[in-house]
Amino acid sequence: MANGEAISWVDGAGIVTATTIGAGILALPIALYSFGTLGATLILLSVGLLGLAAAFLLAEMLMRTDGVTHLPSLVDAYLGKPGLALIFAGTLVYIYGALTAYLIAGGALAESLSGGRVPSYVGTLAYFAIVTAIVHGGAGVVKGAEKASLVVLLVLSLLIIALALPHSGLVAGTAGVEDIPAAFGVVLFACFAHEVIPSVRNRMRKDVRGFIKALIVGAAIPVALYIAWTAVFIGAIPGPLLAAAGVAGQPATVPLGIVAGSLAILLGSMFAVFSTGSSYVGSSFGLVDVFTDLFGDIHRRLGKELALLFSVLPPLYVAVEAPHGFVKALEIAGIYGGGVAIGIVVPLAYLVARRKGRRKPEFSIPSPLGEILAVVLFGVTLAMLIYETYSLLSGM
């Protein structure tokens, strides 16, 4: 993307929006239903603002750094090899968790649509074969599909919201503070698109004002959609049905069909297949690049086929072994993947860049607001990481 034509702020916002909106939306009502309409909205707004803060921190870091750069090299410039190792680890966990969740969702959809005649593991294997074949076909197979993908997802999501709205209403929350970290992980996963920000900056050249506008609009559209989607789903689908979908590893569009009828089943299934499929393809391409870069850093050559196998086989194994872990996979990917990469590494690198950046930035967050945002982002993420780790260890 770095060597292409210059783009407008509208195109930049579209890239950020398209990268953000994906299969994570399917888990939001399941992860947040116990918080009720208001609680779910507050969590989505809070994490969305944290994500925007991280985008601003990253934007200033980019403008304090000479040359065209991407997230791993940017972190390496300010945190060295330990930071580079952390960003690679976070990226691996994030994408592995995402791929696992998408394969689980594919199997659950096949089982649900077939009335149970197709076991979930068979659906997962068939789904895996189809989408992995697309990835193996290369970037040319999906070249230029970002805008079309975004339009399809937005149209389908708005149609589904319209179908569910007549059945919806306000719901009171029953969750406690101890339930926030798990929800935080899923929402953070759904809001994660920061890896594309350096590429957008590179393509927008010297249009700094447009770049910042693209970040704001690109973050606002997904959060607005997530709030409308989640609020309507929580209001339309009884809590026990959403809880059962979570236990079964199903996306939230499956129980919606029980409430809203056959058209909702059709549109929900189309949305789930399209969003998980496009997200799987994009994530797989990204992970192949990560492995290629990683082996390049240690001066080893990794062929395309081997890089693809490293990328897709571990998630397939986990998806077949844990066929009901759709929401849990996204939760772990969000906290240990996106949380580490964006909530831990970015604010640390930002604080170093404020002192050691080699050029005067065209955009900077006023001091001490920038430092406060970095500390808040780091502190909130670290607290969620600690609590999530404690919960996982306590449940073993």
pTM listed for this prediction: 0.89
Residue 373 CA from chain centroid, whole number = 21
- Point out the least confidently predicted range of 43-52, 98-107, 306-315, 377-386: 306-315
Burial 11-38 (b: 16+ CB within 10 A, else e): bbbbbbbbbbbbbbbbbbbbbbbbbbbe
CATH 1.20.1740.10 is right for the domain spanning 9-394 = yes
Mean pLDDT of 244-266: 89
In contact, 94 and 329? CB cutoff 8 Å: no
d(CA 104, CA 249): 7
What phi and psi values does residue 67 have, to the nearest 5 degrees? 85, 165
Q: Give pLDDT tens digits for 307-358.
A: 778 888 899 999 999 888 999 999 999 999 999 999 999 999 999 999 988 8
Q: Give pLDDT tens digits for 194-249.
A: 888 988 888 887 889 999 999 999 999 999 999 999 999 999 999 999 999 998 88
What phi and psi values does residue 21 have, to the nearest 5 degrees? -75, 125
For residue 192, give both structure tokens: 């994660």
190 pLDDT tier (thresholds 50, 70, 90): very high
d(CA 50, CA 48): 5
**84: which residues sit within 8 A by CB, 6+ positions away?**
72, 75, 76, 297
Q: Give pLDDT tens digits for 5-39.
A: 678 899 889 888 888 888 889 999 999 999 999 99
d(CA 331, CA 327): 6
1 pLDDT tier (thresholds 50, 70, 90): very low
Q: Residue 109: what pLDDT?
A: 86
In contact, 365 and 373? CB cutoff 8 Å: yes
Q: Residue 238: what pLDDT?
A: 95
> For 237, which DSSP code?
S
